[in-house]
Amino acid sequence: MVPGILLLALIAPACSPPEVVEISIERPAKDLPMFFSAEASSSQRFRTDDDRFEEPEVDLAELFEWTQPEGWERLPGGGMRVIDLRPAGDPRAECYLTVLAGDGGGITANVNRWRNQLGLEPQSAAEVDALPTLTLMERPATSVDLRGSYVGMGDEAREGWALMGAMLVSTQGTLFVKMTGPAELLEAEREAFESFCASLKAADQHDSHAGHDHPPGEHPPEPGAEETPEAPVTDDLGEPGFAYQLPEGWREGPPKMLREVNLLVGETTQCYVIVLGGEAGGLEMNVNRWLGEVSAEPLDAAGVAALEQVEILGERAPLVEASGDYTGMGGPTGEDMALLGVPLIRSSASVFVKMVGPRAEVEAARGAFIEFVASLEDQE
């Protein structure tokens, strides 16, 4: 009997599915093509290496939409430059978009490549992580603002030069927007540069929504429906993620693997939210893992139960506080660091909110951290 039941359970999926099937597998979309035309013809979709079917190469610039700042000139570009602009019409300045496959070597390496072009010392990964962000392709992108003696590709050094840049890494490619020129000119064009970055987005994918001004992450209203900006965000596809109140002085960090929310606080402090399937090892293990990251003594079950409780996603969870020399993953490492964490363990999926940084910064942000945790709202 027992083997029979086991066999049936194992064989059952081999039966032919019915004529109408409800799609049951949903998962976070990863590694999706970022740069493609929604209007592509079959010829463009199925281009072959056979000369008979050769199609003209797609102009990468056609895959983007942007607003050209007033007074800037569009140049023909060429080479690696997808979009080539001349800020303020000044021939000394240039601003262009390049797209590379893969991660292009990574953010840290590229920031330091740019720093090197201005004769500046390289930065550590933690320092690069803490760089401010600006909006590019409707996502937060790492922003770079450098001054120095600029040496471009084979050029002579130019004193008093500046470089403003933004870079966005995705698994489908990496975007770089780089503006160089005399420092005073670039300072005058800073707003134009930021607005150009903010205006840059994938073309075609949302033509039907053109003319609407929606913050990233929100759907446009249905045609004919009344716009209600205050209404909670709805998401037809069950978009994972959280809504939250961003505490004053905190800022959005660049997207990072595993992190649903990635925020930067003060100079180098990071605060982020991770969601893991199931109980992810349970409460005690996770609390002690965090404590171990700052070499603090582990707690037993009674010790964990005695921790201060805070509100998160309509439930109560312990607030873990510890300080010491931080050696954990996903944050700045160093001495005299502090860690704040709230692990919400649930059977379906567990949520971990963690802040780590220099002790003084973390202690100053403790109240804001608790408010931030309480403000989290599950968008599913």
Partner 1 sequence: MAREKTLPRRVLDVIGSFGLCCVCLFLLFWLTVFGTIFQVDHGLYAAKKTFFAWDFAPIELGGRTWLYLPGVATVLAVLTTNLFVGGLLRIKWRKRNAGVIIVHLGIVFLLLAGLVKMTRGKEGHLRLWEGDRLDYFSSFELWEVAVWELRPGQQGVELVIPDEHFSDLSREGQRTFTSPHLPFDLVLSGFVKNCDVLPKGPNWEATGPVVDGWGLLEKTPNKEAEFDVAGLHARVLVDGAEPAQGILHGLQRQPWVVEADARRFAVDLRHRRYPMPFEIRLEKFTKEDHPGMTMAKSYESVVTRIDSSGEERILIQMNEPLRQDGVVLFQSSYGPQLPGGAVPPGERLYSVFSAVDNPSDKWPEYSMWVIAAGLLIAFGRTLLDYVRKQNAQRQKLSAQPPSA
From the list 170, 32, 162, 180, the residue with the least C-alpha distance to 106 is: 170
Nearer to partner 1, 184 or 295 (CB): 295
Q: Which of residues 215-234 bind partner 1 (CB under 8 A)?
A: 216-217, 219, 222-223
Looking at residues 308 to 337 of the shown chain, list those that interact with partner 1 (rule: CB under 8 A): 328-329
Token code pair at residue 191: 């707003």
CB of 270 to partner 1, least distance (A): 16
Q: Which of 90, 94, 103, 363 binds partner 1 (CB under 8 A)?
A: 103
d(CA 232, CA 330): 31
Q: Does 211 bind partner 1 (CB under 8 A)?
A: no
User: Is residue 43 a contact residue for partner 1 (CB under 8 A)?
Assistant: yes
Stretch that binds partner 1, among 33-41, 84-92, 244-252, 334-342 (CB under 8 A): 33-41
Task: Specify the 3-state DSSP secondary structure of 201.
Answer: strand
Nearer Cβ to partner 1 (88/107)? 107
Residues in contact with partner 1, total (CB under 8 A)?
A: 75
State the DSSP code for 60: G
Chosen residue from 5, 16, 154, 308 binding partner 1 by CB under 8 A? 16
Give the number of C-alpha atoms closer than 13 A to the C-alpha of residue 370, restricted to the C-beta side. Answer: 14
Stretch that binds partner 1, among 92-100, 190-198, 238-246, 360-368 (CB under 8 A): 238-246
Partners of 340 in beta bridges: 321, 355
Among 33, 78, 79, 232, binds partner 1 (CB under 8 A): 33
Looking at 72-80, 126-134, 214-222, 357-365, which segment touches partner 1 (CB under 8 A)? 214-222
Query: In the complex with partner 1, which residue's Cβ is closer, 149 or 205?
Result: 205
For partner 1, the closer of residues 292 and 334 by Cβ is: 292
- Give the type of residue at 65: E
Structure tokens that stand for 165 in this block: 């840049």
Query: Residue 41, interface with partner 1 (CB under 8 A)?
Result: yes
Strand partners, 318: 309
What whole-number distance in Å separates Cα of residue 181 and Cα of residue 165?
Answer: 12
Query: What is the residue type of 12?
Result: A
Please report, as residue ranges, which positions from 249 to 308 form the binding site for partner 1 (by CB under 8 A). 257-258, 276-277, 280-281, 285-286, 289
Select the span of 47-55, 181-189, 242-250, 260-268 touching partner 1 (CB under 8 A). 47-55
Which of residues 46 and 336 has its CB atom nearest to partner 1 in the complex?
A: 46
* Residue 135 Cβ vs partner 1, minimum distance, rounded to whole Å: 9
Distances (CA, A) of 295 to 13, 298, 300: 49, 9, 15
Here's the x/- map for partner 1, 104-143, by CB under 8 A: it reads as -xx------------------------------xxx----
CB of 292 to partner 1, least distance (A): 9
Closer Cβ to partner 1, 147 or 201, answer by number: 201
Query: Rg of the Cα trace of the chain?
Result: 25
- Tokens 């590709």 sit at which residue? 153
Residues between 345 and 374 with contacts to partner 1, criterion CB under 8 A: 350, 352
Sheet containing strand 349-358, edge to edge, reads: 251-252, 259-265, 269-277, 349-358, 334-344, 320-326
Tell me the three state secondary structure of residue 302: helix
Q: What part of residues 151-170 is at the interface with partner 1 (CB under 8 A)?
A: none
Check residue 202 for interaction with partner 1 (CB under 8 A): yes
Can you read off the two tokens belonging to residue 268? 């180098």
Distances (CA, A) of 236 to 139, 179, 232, 359: 20, 39, 13, 42
Residue closer to partner 1, measured from CB, 47 or 147: 47
* Residue 96 bridge partners (DSSP): 84, 178
Q: Does 182 bind partner 1 (CB under 8 A)?
A: no
The only residue of 92, 190, 209, 251 in contact with partner 1, by rule CB under 8 A: 209
- Give the Cα-Cα-Cα angle 103, 108, 109 (nearest 5 degrees): 70
Apex 128 CA angle, 82 and 201, nearest 5: 30
Q: Which of 37, 123, 195, 333 binds partner 1 (CB under 8 A)?
A: 37
